[in-house]
Chains A and B, each alone.
Chain A
Amino acid sequence: MGKIIFLIFSVSILCADENPLIKCNECHGAYVAPPYKKVYKHYLLKYSSKSRVERAMIDFLSAPTFQKSAMPKGMKKRFNPDTHLVFEATIIKKAVKSLIEKEDINITLNLY
Chain B
Amino acid sequence: MLLKAQSSSLIPKLKELHRSQDNELIYPQSPKYKSAIYDIDTNYIFGDFKPKTLYLDREYYQEENMLYAVIKVYPYYLGAAFIVIQKDINYEPIHAMEARLIVTFIIATIFISLIAYWLGNLFLSPIRQSITLLDNFIKDTTHELNTPLSTILANAELLKSFHPELEKSNELRRIETATKRLSRIYDDLAYIRLNHKRHTHVEKLNISALLKERLDYFDTVAVAKQISFTHKIDENIYLHIDKEDIIRIIDNLLGNAFKYTMIKGQIDVTLNELYLSIKDNGIGINKDAKKEVLKRFVRDNSSEGGFGLGLSIVADIVKHYNFDIEIQSELNKGTKVSIIWAK
Q: Which residues from chain A sit less than 8 Å from chain B, CB to CB?
A: 37, 41, 44-53, 105-106, 108-112
Contact = CB atoms under 8 A, between A and B. Distances in A.
Given A46-B76, A106-B46, A111 B41 contact: no
A44 B45 CA distance: 12
B11 to A, nearest CB: 13
B27 A106 contact: no
Given A45-B18, A48-B40, A49-B43, A109 B79 contact: no
B76 A48 contact: yes
B41 A49 contact: yes
A110 B26 contact: yes
Contacts of A110: 24-27
B45 A45 contact: no
17 contacts: A37-B21, A44-B78, A45-B76, A46-B75, A49-B39, A49-B40, A50-B39, A50-B43, A50-B79, A51-B41, A105-B25, A105-B78, A105-B79, A106-B45, A108-B22, A109-B25, A110-B27
Contacts of A41: 18
Interface string B18-39: 1001111111010000000001
B79 A49 contact: yes
7 closest residue pairs by CB, A with B: A48-B40, A49-B39, A48-B76, A49-B41, A44-B79, A48-B39, A109-B46
Given A49-B39, A49-B41, A108 B79 contact: no
Contacts of B25: 105, 108-110
Given A49-B43, A105-B78, 8 more contacts: A37-B21, A41-B18, A45-B18, A45-B79, A48-B40, A49-B39, A108-B24, A108-B25
B124 to A, nearest CB: 75
Contacts of B17: 109
Interface of B: 17-18, 21-27, 29, 39-41, 43, 45-46, 48, 75-81
Contacts of B75: 45-46
B81 A48 contact: yes
Nearest to B48: A111
A108 B19 CA distance: 13
B41 A105 contact: no
Of residues B22, B39, B43, which shows the largest number of chain A Cβ atoms within 10 Å of its Cβ?
B39
Nearest to B47: A111
Nearest to A37: B21
Nearest to A53: B79
Contacts of A53: 79
A107 to B, nearest CB: 9
Nearest to A108: B25
Contacts of B41: 48-49, 51-52
Contacts of B23: 108
A50 B80 CA distance: 11
A77 B230 CA distance: 130
A53 B79 CA distance: 10
A52 B21 CA distance: 23
Nearest to B44: A106
Contact of A52 (B22, B26, B29, B40): B40
Contacts of B81: 48-49
A112 B48 CA distance: 10
Of residues A37, A49, A51, which shows the largest number of chain B Cβ atoms within 10 Å of its Cβ?
A49
